A and B are shown apart, each in its own frame.
Chain A
Amino acid sequence: MIAVIYYYMRKSGKFHKKKELFVDSLQLPKDVCMGALKVTMTGNSEVWIENYKGILEYTGQTILLQAKTCQVCFEGSRLSIDYYTNEDMKISGSITCVRYL
């Protein structure tokens, strides 16, 4: 019975909303529970990103990353990746725009 409800909710997209409500009400960190992208910027020169899936595109002007629920695009000039691991990455350069797609 529960499995049926779970399957139904998941298919209808209601599961995601319920989970968000649940996480919200318990004040749990969303990056851990929901796999939300975590972007930390200092000024416009350095960005730390966690919870991404991978790089979709990398040029000197744009870096496009795939996250669990969305894509994020960093635009700027002289963009370089200081380090890139499974957990997190650091981008430095002159960032002019952060877009969520």
Chain B
Amino acid sequence: MIELFKYLKGYVRVKVWGFSPERFMNLCSNKNILLWNIVKEGDIYIMNISLSGFYQLKPIVRKTSTKVVILERHGLPFFVPVILSRKIFVLGLTLCIAFWIWSSNYVWDIDLSGNYQITEDVFMTFLSENNIDIGTKKSDLDLKELEKAIRQTFTEITWTSAKINGTKLEIAVKENDALVITPASNEEEGGKDLIAEYDGIITSMIVRSGVPMVSIGDTVESGTVLVEGRVPIYNEDTTVREYQYVASDADIYMEHVLDYEDILAYDYIQKEYTGREKTRYFLRAFDNELKMSAEAPYLVYDCIIKENKPALFDKLSIPVFWGSYTYREYQNVEYVYTLSEAKLIMEEKIKKYMEGLSEKGVQIIEKDVKIENGDHEWIVSGHFYVIEQIGKSVDTPVDADPIDTAGEEIP
């Protein structure tokens, strides 16, 4: 720190000789002139003296009859005139700093996080529709308004945060990952029936609204009405006065058979890399790309694109990228599965299928699956005995005139 101040104020290295250099030093210290790095070489004293002190030396020199000669000049007061004489350099430096400051007023990067359902492309289109793009002035951005617009445009976004970090616009969103529950509208005309989706046996049934048409242990066919949304209201003489239509609601579990079938061809194609690779480097600014060679070097290839961003300043992102395309040649080679290989793959598939079922809340009671030799393929077929919640909601057929049925007897 002291060194910095010394540098800023400037100092000179002088040599002092003559009648009484010690007295010269004492007088200097009495006048509060700082001396440092005092070395004696023969009869000569060499020391550093501050620039302001050096200007006060004249009476001291006269008094002590010594001689003072400057050896070196250090510090900013000596450096500034030198640098000012290089006009182009100073101009360039000033322009560079000015450009830097000016460019930091713009958004140079947009970072989106937290989006799962909404793709980045969709979001960027939305942003450009709202006049927010790379190169937008930071002062033109109204982050509060932007947050509001995001929430209004994308209903699935429940929370947004937009902030500017350096020249980067950081948008964080949170999507509603819970299931969207649409409340059953009571105003809806007409009732809802629950019908069976499969053939099977009812194992459990809890009805909350509607009239149950089947009971536990019943064997039902697909399409059978399980719960009816037409609730009869009886007269005192047990005749039906009218029907009220409600949306049926029930937890019904059914034991049924799920057929499973899967085929796996004997032969399959696998990529085999030949080991030949070619790398093309590119440089991209905004949407303009400068590439070494545009043509792909192989007939059959895949490509790895590596993209780098200037990481010079974390907060100053510039839309300039560089990187490489690495083309890797490969050949499609045909292989044939052996029985054991096929078994492994099939078992894995069945396991995944079963996992998928249990995720849906389906309880598997029994499974019966076997692998057979088909025509140029392995065939897996079998059944799963499962217990599953059923009940598909359909509109209750409405009678033309409910009053007509008023005289109907109770079944």
Q: Which A residues are closer than 8 A to B by beta carbons?
A: 53-60, 80-86
Contacting residue for A85 out of B21, B29, B39, B47, CB 8 A: B29
> For B23, what are the chain A residues with a Cβ–Cβ distance below 8 Å?
54
Q: Are A80 and B39 in contact (CB under 8 A)?
A: yes
Residues of B within 8 A of A56 (CB): 22
By a beta-carbon cutoff of 8 Å, the part of chain B in contact with chain A is 21-23, 25-26, 28-30, 32, 34-40, 45, 47
Can you list 30 contacts pairing A with B, beta carbon distance less than 8 Å?
A53-B26, A54-B22, A54-B23, A54-B26, A55-B26, A56-B22, A57-B22, A58-B21, A58-B22, A58-B25, A59-B40, A80-B37, A80-B40, A81-B35, A81-B39, A82-B36, A82-B38, A83-B35, A83-B36, A83-B37, A84-B25, A84-B28, A84-B29, A84-B34, A84-B35, A84-B38, A85-B32, A85-B34, A85-B35, A86-B29
Contacting residues, chain A, for B29 (C-beta < 8 A):
54, 84-86
Closest chain B residue, CB of each to CB of A55:
B22
Measured CA separation A53–B30 after assembly (Å): 9
- Binding site of B, secondary structure by majority: helix, strand, loop or mixed? mixed
Q: How far is the CB of A74 from chain B (nearest CB, A)?
A: 13
Min CB–CB distance A89 → chain B (angstroms): 8
Measured CA separation A86–B33 after assembly (Å): 8
Q: What residue in chain A is nearest B22 (Cβ atoms)?
A: A55
Residue of A nearest to B26 (CB): A54
A80 to B22, CA, bound (A): 13
Residues of B within 8 A of A82 (CB): 36-38
Instruction: Across the A-B interface, give the 9 residue pairs with the lowest CB-CB distance, nearest first.
Output: A54-B26, A81-B38, A83-B36, A84-B35, A55-B22, A80-B39, A86-B29, A60-B40, A55-B25
Residues of B within 8 A of A55 (CB): 22, 25-26
Cα A28 to Cα B290 in complex, Å, equals 80
A56 to B26, CA, bound (A): 9
Q: Are A58 and B45 in contact (CB under 8 A)?
A: yes
Question: Shortest Cβ distance from A91 into chain B, in angstroms?
Answer: 9
Contacts of B30 on A, CB cut-off 8 Å? 54, 86
Residue of B nearest to A53 (CB): B26
User: Shortest distance in angstroms between A88's beta carbon and chain B's nearest beta carbon?
Assistant: 10
Given contacts A85-B29, A86-B32, 8 further A-B contacts (CB under 8 A): A80-B37, A80-B39, A81-B35, A81-B39, A81-B47, A84-B29, A84-B38, A85-B34
Measured between beta carbons, the chain B residues less than 8 angstroms from A57 are 22
| Shortest Cβ distance from B45 into A: residue | A58
**In the complex, what's the smallest C-beta–C-beta distance from B29 to chain A, in angstroms?**
5
Complex Cα distance A82/B26, Å? 15
Of chain A, the residue at the smallest CB distance from B48 is: A83
Chain A residue at minimum C-beta to C-beta distance from B2: A83
Alpha-carbon distance between A56 and B25 when the two chains are bound, in angstroms? 10
- Which residues of B lie under 8 Å from residue A85 when comparing CB positions? 29, 32, 34-35
In whole angstroms, what is the CA distance A86 to B353 when docked? Answer: 91
Chain B residues in 8 Å Cβ range of A80: 37-40
Q: Chain A residues near B39 (CB, 8 Å)?
A: 80-81
In the complex, which residues of chain B have a beta carbon less than 8 angstroms from the beta carbon of A60? 40
B36 surroundings in chain A (CB, below 8 A) = 81-84
CB distance from A96 to the nearest CB of B (A): 17
Most interface-central of B34, B36, B38 (chain A CB within 10 A): B38
Nearest-neighbour CB distance to chain A for B9, whole angstroms, equals 15
Contacts of A86 in B (CB 8 A): 29-30, 32
Chain A min CB distance to B28 (Å): 7
- Residues of chain A within 8 A (CB-CB) of B25 are 54-55, 58, 84
Which B residues are in CB contact (< 8 Å) with A83? 34-37
Q: Is the pair B40, A58 in contact by a Cβ cutoff of 8 Å?
A: yes
When chains A and B are docked, how far (Å) is the Cα of A85 from the Cα of B22? 13
**Nearest chain B CB to A18's CB is how many angstroms away?**
31
Contacts of A84 in B (CB 8 A): 25, 28-29, 34-36, 38
Residue of A nearest to B32 (CB): A86
Bound: A26/B36 CA distance, A: 37
* Contacting residues, chain B, for A54 (C-beta < 8 A): 22-23, 25-26, 29-30
The residue of chain A having its C-beta at the shortest distance from the C-beta of B27 within the complex is A54
